[in-house]
Amino acid sequence: MKKTFLTTLPLLFLSSAAIANQPVNTFISARVIKPNETTNISVAGQHYFKSQIANGVYDEFGYFDTDSSISAGYYSSDQTNGLSSLQSISGNYFHDKWLIGGSFSRLSYEFDNAESDTQSHTSVKLGYLVNDNLLVSALYNDDSGRGSFNAQYSHQLNPQGDYIGFSLSTNDDFDSVSLSSSYFGRLNGDNYIRLGFDHSQQGGDDINTYSGSYYFSEGTSVSLSSDLDLYMNVTGKHFISQSTAITISYMYIDDSNGEGTFQVGLTSQF
């Protein structure tokens, strides 16, 4: 099976031609992950009330959202000793420069030798779009009973759409901080690159994650992310049409079992 996967993947990546980018409003994705004897399935969708225009490649739409949208998701994990599921819905509404958002999620689980339970959580968000490049917001989550503050900034580097973006987030006690940055740019022809860095500090622990994506064309890319210690993820993505993409990932976490996990996904945008 692994040999078939490795020999088929290059042919799959070369099977379609480039198509001009078109406006889209709705994004839907589905994933199947099967580590060991567990089957994990997730389905997610997001709808924007204003058309989104891709920047250079089919899956690049800017560093952060400035348009109203609504999202919903479903996740289930079927394990040998029980079943758990998570349903969620969220939305962001922009009025002039103000952002009002919120989310609701419900987690249900039932395991052998344990009581079944259902938990619900709600969050609310208030933000302000200082300008087209800077968004600040505050979030309250009833799960933790705490708030967080967030800032996102994007700077366009040239008329072709290359940009660099930064995000900063901290909780209301300022004892947990996360910082991330991303660069997206065109190399030559249809070749693009995306580079990312994430840093989080919590409880005295520092975690750094590095990521990169290389686009062979508007619809074909390979990505790698790692903390250079315990975690690594390699993903190949190919649009068989401008509206439909297939993703295949391999994730490895250096834990007690030492086994990697394959993930297959399908995304659609229209």
* 259 located within any domain: yes
Q: DSSP secondary-structure letter at 116?
A: -
At 102 the pLDDT is 96
In the beta sheet, which residues pair with residue 45? 28, 72
Would you say residue 68 lies in a domain? yes
User: Per the structure, how many domains does the chain have?
Assistant: 1
The predicted structure's pLDDT at residue 117: 78
User: CA 270, 51, 151, 139 torsion: positive or negative?
Assistant: negative
CATH, residue 248: 2.40.160
Domain assignment of residue 4, yes or no: no
Per-residue pLDDT tens over the stretch 41-58: 999 999 999 999 999 999
Domain of residue 139, residue span: 33-269
Q: How far apart are CA 12 and CA 263, in angstroms?
A: 16
Dist. CA 182–CA 117, nearest whole Å = 39
State the pLDDT at residue 21. 66
Answer whether residue 194 is part of any domain.
yes
* pLDDT for the residue numbered 193: 97
Question: Considering the domain boundaries, does residue 12 fall inside one?
Answer: no
Alpha-carbon distance of 25 to 69, in angstroms, equals 9
Give a yes or no: residue 258 inside a domain.
yes
Residues of the chain with pLDDT under 70: 1-21, 35-37, 80, 114-115, 255-259
Q: How far apart are CA 236 and CA 5, in angstroms?
A: 12
CB 238 within 8 A of CB 13: yes
Nearest Cα residue to 134 out of 153, 150, 117 = 153
Query: In 3D, which of 107, 31, 103 has the Cα closest to residue 70?
Result: 103
pLDDT tens digits, residue range 71-96?
999 998 887 677 888 999 999 999 99
| Phi, psi (rounded to 5 degrees) for 250 | -130, 125
Give a yes or no: residue 235 inside a domain. yes
For the chain, the residue count is: 270
The β-bridge partners of 76 are 41, 85
Which two structure tokens, joined as six digits, stand for 189? 């022809």
* Residue 11 belongs to a domain: no
